[in-house]
Amino acid sequence: MPVKELLILGEKRLANAGISNAKGESQDLYCYRFGLNQRQFLMEWQKTREFEDCESYLELLDRRADREPIQYITGSQNFYGYDIHVEPGVLIPRLDSETVVEHAIELIKDRHYKTVLDLCSGSGALGIAIAKECHGVKVTFSDESEDAVRIAKSNIEKLGLSKECKVVRGNLFEPFKKFFGNQKFDLIISNPPYIPTNVIPNLDREVKDFEPVSALDGGETGLDYYNKILDSAGDYLKKNGAIVLEIGYDQADDVSKILEDAGFKDIKVFKDLAGKDRTVIADF
């Protein structure tokens, strides 16, 4: 089958399924299936593909048409310029979360921080971007999920960060309670589950049907994890330490109040590229 016709068929298949970027995603899946970069893809238009090749490509299109996220199909998501491996056991990193990384990097460089804890680390995207951008900084990753720990370790190894990064499995700060005192960090970052439980059924199918609910569900008000984290975060921060949190667009006031009640000061809220509240920073 001529590749040009195959790509037109692919675009129509996704468009009919309601995929907004049908042309781009049909091309991305073609490149993924045949291992092509953008330059190689441009040379494909005049070629033909065997029946078996067409079938395997159409199978990928069917998965996407059924609303499986393209990142899970390809196993990859670009985050802060780095290729992060993802699969259904972890949340797909979003562009919005890059604001957390940007503000964390600014703090690290301004204050010469050397140790960072990425709490609820998932795929490890946040901490990996920080480790890549801030040489000499040690990043510890912590997540309760066995899948998340495995995937974060694989991303760290793939990106050559084994010396700078360590991954542990446990419930929030549990792995850092030591017999002779808690392990402490200069900076804590976290993108915890923060979607209210009753909102999850109304999310896009790509999210509610495929991404892990445990990485989304923040309890009745969406604030459960902020309360749990901030109840003891100060016990794991060094003197003049700070915390950087991702929040939902409507949670700035509530999270700021929790921070204040927990003894944090100089609380600041920052917006994402869409102009929505997305990051809260506070000193301890």
Torsion angle of the four alpha carbons 92, 184, 111, 101, in this order, in degrees rounded to the nearest 10 = 0
What is the C-alpha to C-alpha distance for residues 85 and 8, in angstroms, rounded to an integer?
29
Q: Is the pLDDT of residue 207 over 80?
A: yes
Q: Is the pLDDT of residue 180 over 80?
A: no
3-state secondary structure 163-231: CCEEEEECCCCHHHCCCCCCCCEEEEEECCCCECHHHHHHCCHHHHCCCCHHHCECCCCCCHHHHHHHH
Q: Return the sign of the alpha-carbon dihedral for residues 10, 11, 12, 16.
A: positive
Q: Is the pLDDT of residue 90 over 80?
A: yes
Q: Is the pLDDT of residue 212 over 90?
A: yes
What pLDDT shows up at residue 275?
Answer: 93
The pairing of beta strand 82-85 with beta strand 76-79: antiparallel
Residue range 226-233: mean pLDDT, rounded: 96
User: H or E segment at 277?
Assistant: strand 277-283
- Percent of the chain clearing pLDDT 90 (strictly above): 90
What pLDDT shows up at residue 98?
Answer: 96
What is the C-alpha to C-alpha distance for residues 173 and 229, in angstroms, rounded to an integer?
8
What pLDDT shows up at residue 238?
Answer: 95
Residue range 215-225: mean pLDDT, rounded: 96
What pLDDT shows up at residue 44?
Answer: 85
Residue range 167-196: mean pLDDT, rounded: 92
Q: Confidence band (pLDDT; 50, 70, 90) for 20?
A: very high
Task: Please give the mean pLDDT across all residues of the chain.
Answer: 95
What pLDDT shows up at residue 221?
Answer: 96
Residue range 149-153: mean pLDDT, rounded: 97
Q: Is the pLDDT of residue 251 over 80?
A: yes
Q: Is the pLDDT of residue 2 over 90?
A: no
What pLDDT shows up at residue 83?
Answer: 97
What pLDDT shows up at residue 38?
Answer: 85
Contact 190, 144 (CB under 8 A): no
Residue range 83-96: mean pLDDT, rounded: 96
pTM of the model: 0.91
What pLDDT shows up at residue 45?
Answer: 82
